[in-house]
Amino acid sequence: MNPAQHRLAAPGPGSADWTERFAARARMGGGDLTAILSLVGAAGTITFSGGFPAPETFPVGVVEGLVADLVEKDGAVALQYTPTEGLASSRVAVADLVQATQGVRPDPAQVLVTSGGIEALQLLCGVFVDAGDAVAVEAPTYLGALMAFRRSGAEVVGISMTDAGLDVDELDRHLRRDGPAPKLLYVIPDHQNPTGLTLSLEGRRALVDLCARHGVLVVEDVAYRELGFDGEPLPSLWSLAPDTVVQIGTFSKILFPGVRLGWAVGPRAVVAAMASAKQNSDQCAGALGQRIMSAFVAGGHFPAHLEAARRLYAARAAAMVAGLERSMPPSTTWTRPQGGFFVWLTAPEGVDTVALAADAQREGVAFVPGAPFYVDGRGRNQIRLAFSGVPEARIDEGVRRLGRLLGAPKAAA
């Protein structure tokens, strides 16, 4: 027994403070995401906080037909447990989708179907991260990933970003210094969360070469990859270096999050170990969601569905950028995303965006302050604005409110 436990009073009826008995990892907090999600429903608030897909993109009609059909004709599979790796049909569907969108086909045996992208990250932590292990991430990066790494006891180091994605020269310098190399490098190369930035082709090649040389496994998160507004996407890191990269994907942004479905594709031994870890979590992703997804892929619905989603998000991104140009003070800067859900705004030095978030809430506009996206206190004057879930007219109004808060002169009506 832990000696600290001897000092605790035996819990009597209604008197125990159970929080004193929490494991260390549960006392690390992790409420950042919960706070973001809780703002979503606040009445009257224009919510640029959560990275939520637009419900207008959900393929309700197609899914209604698929579900009725699946339950009637394939209920014994669609309503049952599945193998831990996923149904054979789901693994083939993911392989088909990856081939269609990335030009290289993974062996379905190297595909693991997960309960969303976040589970894939947790499984990777379970497989690779012991307390004290180093993990490198982009600075800033996706909050859910930061929380997963930290809760696993990782020492997380942030590598800066440039306008062309992760700063590969800084990564190079980091890997050359004395001290243990990170076990994992987590990157979101396309339309990144939270910055909206995309890693250049040159950067992609340099990054995978560097990591291969230093024995660092690259974790490539492709959550927003298929949501580029125009032009061909750049090659995925996994397609460039399948032995050095494990790719994790999610259907949350490109289909809908209601089924909590994602995937991992990577070196055989890594995927096998993740599948083994999954036996100790949920054992398998839900069969109904898997069958909906594979029927959606097999039915050839994805290309038109993605095209419509890209158009919708492109219009929202354009509305946000135009609104920022109208409403922000001159010393404020922001990214101009070519895809995905986010604009990343940098206010003048000295602006405290945590305090600003509280004022903004009173004005009926919500965003996420920048600091939690970093591991080292950077980002105090930055904010993430998600345009994905807000119609254009509301985007304009929300950005106007934000501009007033940041002290811009009132734009002409």
Ligand X SMILES: Cc1ncc(COP(=O)(O)O)c(C=O)c1O
Where on the chain is the footprint of ligand X (CB under 6 A)?
Answer: 51, 116-118, 142, 144, 188, 193, 221, 223, 250, 252, 257, 262
- Nearest-angstrom CA–CA distance, 67 and 54: 21
Measured from the CB atom, the residue of 129 and 328 that comes closer to ligand X is 129
Residue 221's nearest CA partner among 166, 291, 151, 296 is 166
Measured from the CB atom, the residue of 233 and 403 that comes closer to ligand X is 233
Residue position matching structure tokens 């105090």 = 380
Q: Which helix (H) or strand (E) holds 354?
A: helix 353-362
Give the strand pairing for 134-139 and 382-386: unpaired
If you ran DSSP here, which 8-state letter would residue 160 be given? E
What are the E-state strand segments in 174-241? Answer: 184-187, 217-221
CB of 188 to ligand X, least distance (A): 5
Which residue's C-beta sits nearest to ligand X? Answer: 116
Measured from the CB atom, the residue of 49 and 252 that comes closer to ligand X is 252
Measured from the CB atom, the residue of 70 and 148 that comes closer to ligand X is 148
CB of 359 to ligand X, least distance (A): 25
CB of 19 to ligand X, least distance (A): 27
Measured from the CB atom, the residue of 146 and 351 that comes closer to ligand X is 146
Contacts of 260 (CB under 8 A, 6+ apart): 115, 116, 119, 252, 285, 286, 289
Give the strand pairing for 333-334 and 155-162: unpaired
Measured from the CB atom, the residue of 85 and 119 that comes closer to ligand X is 119
Peptide bond into 3 cis (omega under 30): no
CB of 7 to ligand X, least distance (A): 39
CB of 251 to ligand X, least distance (A): 7
CB of 222 to ligand X, least distance (A): 9
- Nearest-angstrom CA–CA distance, 291 and 16: 45
